[in-house]
Amino acid sequence: MIKIQLISSKNLDALNLSAFDQKQIEAHDFTAKSGQQLNLINETGEIHTVLFGFSEGDSIWNAAEVTKRLPHGTYQFVTTLTGDDLFLLHLVWHLGIYKFDRYKTQVSQQLHLVDVEGVDSSKLQLVIRSINWVRDLVNTPAEDMGPAEMQLSIEQLAKTCGATIQVITGEDCLSEGFPLTHAVGRASDRAPRVVELQWGKVGDKKVTLVGKGVCFDTGGLDIKTAAGMRQMKKDMSGAAHALALGNLIMGLELPIDLRVIVPIVDNNVGSRSYRPGDVFISRNGKSIEIGNTDAEGRLILADALTAACERSPDLLIDFATLTGNRALGSVVSCFSKDVSLTQSLQKHGESVSDPVWSMPLVDEYVDLFKSDIADLVNIANTPVDTGTVAAAAFLSEFVSKDTTWVHCDLLGYNVKPFPGKPKGAEAMSLRAWLSFIEAWLKEN
């Protein structure tokens, strides 16, 4: 087993190194500055220790960079980090070596890490699996991750965790109270559906998660540009996040009466496409005029949120790539009428290095959605791009006033690689929410 030692320039001289190792340090001019790495070899040419420059104040995420310059093998950290920092150190290693190689003909080399004593290995592995599951779901092309495949993923989750599911498919969405999901998805030959997962014990705190499951978004008749459509396989990222958070709750056996609702569609162009100017009656009875068919996510969420409120959850959370998070990009925007809740969530995000941001839910913005012929129109009437906060205001019309609700608008994607965060699909806010929910259960 090869040791990885996080070392700063201040304590480099304190290392008990052989003369052969010391010569390597001198030959490579290794000074242990932040991010500098040296793989020390023995006299037969085998790596025995990895030195990685890590100074006081460095982000633990930077340590993920060590994995890029290691050969196949088994490693273990040598570090003075403890508690949450030690957990994060192990987590960033695993997140950094993630590769979406389903379609690759050559599999990359494997790196293995042995946990340091004091790490909760079972929780670590659950968090890793949940985050990488989000990445896998979102990275998979829409051809192989359509409504049926997403349903299958939920069925597999339910089987693994001992949950039950209910599926409403195709025309049944009309009779079962999901008319907006049907409208958005009806043009596709892959039928729209709503999948609901239930787990837990009656009498525990009721938490409901809702996730936007648009498997591919062409924009509908208000079709996107080629560039705008390029990454629209990720438009089901909200659903992936809801399922992964559910997996964390169930995997840790938290005392929660859990419900996960996922409306799943393709937003396609076809002879049955819904049209600008059409009016549909939502589950809660409000009429909605279609101002733009590319504002489809808020439509399928509207009925799902209404359905979620019918069972009076103690906490309702929805996840969606609703606006590409034009407000904050790679930091999740979290909206709620209970500002203290989102501020607490933001602090939990800071504590576990999984940033979210508390954002205002402005009631007056609902007026931007007034329609001449219906109760609401699905696109804001404003010359200024207030998409993220306005979309949250639209959704608020489908949440009962006495429900504690948080809307999470996320990007779900790294546009370029960062330490521990490869380019492509990314799970955002899961660990922040887990930390918040664990504390919320103790307080309530």
pLDDT means per 10 residues, the chain with 444 residues, are 92 87 94 94 92 92 94 93 96 96 82 96 98 98 98 98 98 98 98 98 98 98 96 97 98 98 98 98 98 96 98 98 77 95 98 96 92 96 74 97 97 94 96 98 94
Q: Of residues 212, 234, 298, 421, which has the active-site annotation?
A: 298
pLDDT of the residue at 327:
66
**What number of other Cβ atoms are within 10 A of residue 277's Cβ?**
10
Instruction: Set out the domains of the chain in order of their start, with CATH numbers.
Output: 2-97 (3.40.220.10), 127-443 (3.40.630.10)
Q: How far apart are CA 404 and CA 407, in angstroms?
A: 10
Q: Of residues 224, 286, 326, 337, which has the active-site annotation?
A: 224
Residue 356, φ and ψ in degrees, nearest 5:
-135, 165
**What number of other Cβ atoms are within 10 A of residue 239's Cβ?**
31
pLDDT of the residue at 381:
82
- Predicted model pTM: 0.96
Four-CA torsion 27, 32, 33, 36, nearest 10 degrees: 70
* Pick from 90, 9, 16, 83: nearest CA to 52: 9
**What number of other Cβ atoms are within 10 A of residue 168's Cβ?**
20
CA-CA distances (angstroms) from residue 360 to 343, 346, 357? 11, 13, 10
Q: Is 129 a catalytic residue?
A: no
Q: Is 224 a catalytic residue?
A: yes
